[in-house]
């Protein structure tokens, strides 16, 4: 048996946290590296992890498979930018075997779109049905400012390739004060015009980026009030296993999601955990909690130690996070960057 295969006998009971929430959604960072430097996410001169510290693709496969055996039905690959990881499509193709068995209901990823033109068709061939693309503006100059050196045309070409391959695309946009907040209505119309949902996200205070978040932060409650002057929005009961609350826009027929970690925490229904590219599990985005899965993963070819460590980590999952952005707390709520945590 290879390290990426699991015996059914090693699978333990489904994961349930201390508050009765069943864990069925796993987000895995395959790399902390990215080919962009979005100013709300990273500092311009990032120090990335040594490659030797990262789990191998085979170890990532085994780790994801262990979680699937324990009840995870949705798996999202993230980064950094997942598509910059060398040979990452080998991991995607290997994990797709769990789609074929029915153990995994969805395999997806979040990407900045810069490399989608190259990989979209192969992603679809591996059974990926939908992806999230992070895109905060349709203005080339603003895009370069936000990403520090990105090329908007590459992202738009990637979205074209993804849709041509049959992938459903959802756009994720971070609302940024005095940067793109006035552009949100046109972004909504563009996305819905291409049959793509749009999710708006509040800036999260994660990692030192060389400046405070208070000058970037736009409360989505305020933004939604502005949008209501232009659009007729009806709340939807949609539940995709993520933190977004969705509305239907009558004028466009499309959907908008609101992810509001600051103005309304979404923890009561949290069914997910995150794993970093070094094998650290974080059961809450807004806490410094961490458990090392790399050590038990490498200690034995059996998953007995690994499963026990996972169970202990799930048993410590907090009820919710405590993100704060204000003038008195103009510092990260947690020290790790989103690129390390896993999207």
Q: Which residues are annotated as a binding site for [4Fe-4S] cluster?
A: 34, 38, 41, 267, 270, 284
Q: How many CA atoms lie within 13 A of 92 on its CB side?
A: 27
Characterize the bridge pairing of strands 106-111 and 130-134: parallel
The three-class DSSP label of residue 25 is strand
Binding residues: 27, 34, 38, 40-41, 76, 80, 110, 134, 170, 204, 267, 270, 272-274, 284
User: CA nearest 290: which of 342, 241, 330?
Assistant: 342
Q: Which residue has the tokens 């027929």?
A: 253
Q: How many CA atoms lie within 13 A of 105 on its CB side?
A: 9
| Angle, helices 220-227/184-193, rounded to nearest 10 degrees | 70
Task: Name beta bridge partners: 22.
Answer: 16
- Could you tell me the sign of the dihedral formed by the alpha carbons of 83, 340, 141, 225, in that order? positive
Q: Are 55 and 292 in contact (CB under 8 A)?
A: no
Binding residues for GTP: 27, 76, 110, 170, 272-274
Task: Name beta bridge partners: 107.
Answer: 75
Binding residues for S-adenosyl-L-methionine: 40, 80, 134, 204
């Amino acid at each position: 048996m290879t390290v990426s295969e699991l015996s059914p006998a090693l699978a333990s009971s489904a994961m349930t946290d201390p508050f009765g929430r069943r864990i069925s959604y796993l987000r895995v960072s395959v790399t902390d590296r990215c080919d962009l430097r979005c100013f709300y996410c990273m500092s311009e001169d990032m120090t990335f992890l040594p490659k030797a510290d990262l789990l191998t693709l085979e170890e990532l496969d085994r780790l994801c498979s262990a979680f699937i055996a324990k009840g995870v039905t949705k798996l999202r690959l993230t980064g950094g930018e997942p598509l910059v990881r060398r040979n990452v499509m080998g991991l995607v193709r290997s994990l797709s075997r769990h789609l074929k068995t029915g153990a995994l209901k969805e395999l997806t990823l979040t990407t900045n779109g810069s490399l989608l033109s190259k990989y979209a068709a192969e992603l679809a061939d591996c059974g990926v049905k939908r992806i999230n693309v992070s895109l905060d503006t349709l203005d080339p100059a603003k895009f370069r400012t936000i990403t520090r050196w990105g090329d908007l045309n590459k992202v738009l070409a990637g979205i074209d390739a993804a849709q041509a391959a049959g992938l459903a695309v959802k756009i994720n946009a971070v609302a940024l004060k005095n940067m793109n907040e006035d552009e949100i209505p046109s972004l909504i119309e563009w996305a819905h015009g291409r049959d793509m949902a749009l999710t708006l996200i509040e800036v999260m205070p994660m990692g030192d980026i060389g400046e405070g978040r208070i000058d970037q932060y736009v409360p989505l409650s305020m933004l939604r009030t502005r949008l209501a002057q232009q659009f007729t929005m009806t709340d939807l009961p949609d539940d995709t296993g993520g933190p977004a609350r969705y509305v239907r826009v009558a004028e466009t027929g499309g959907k908008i999601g609101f992810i509001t970690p600051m103005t309304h925490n979404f923890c009561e229904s949290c069914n997910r955990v995150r794993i970093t590219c070094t094998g650290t599990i974080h059961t809450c985005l807004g806490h410094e909690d961490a458990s090392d899965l790399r050590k038990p993963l490498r200690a034995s070819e059996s998953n007995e130690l690994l499963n026990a460590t996972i169970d202990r980590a799930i048993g410590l999952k907090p009820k919710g996070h405590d993100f704060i952005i204000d003038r008195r707390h103009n510092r990260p709520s947690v020290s790790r960057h989103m690129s390390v945590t896993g999207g």
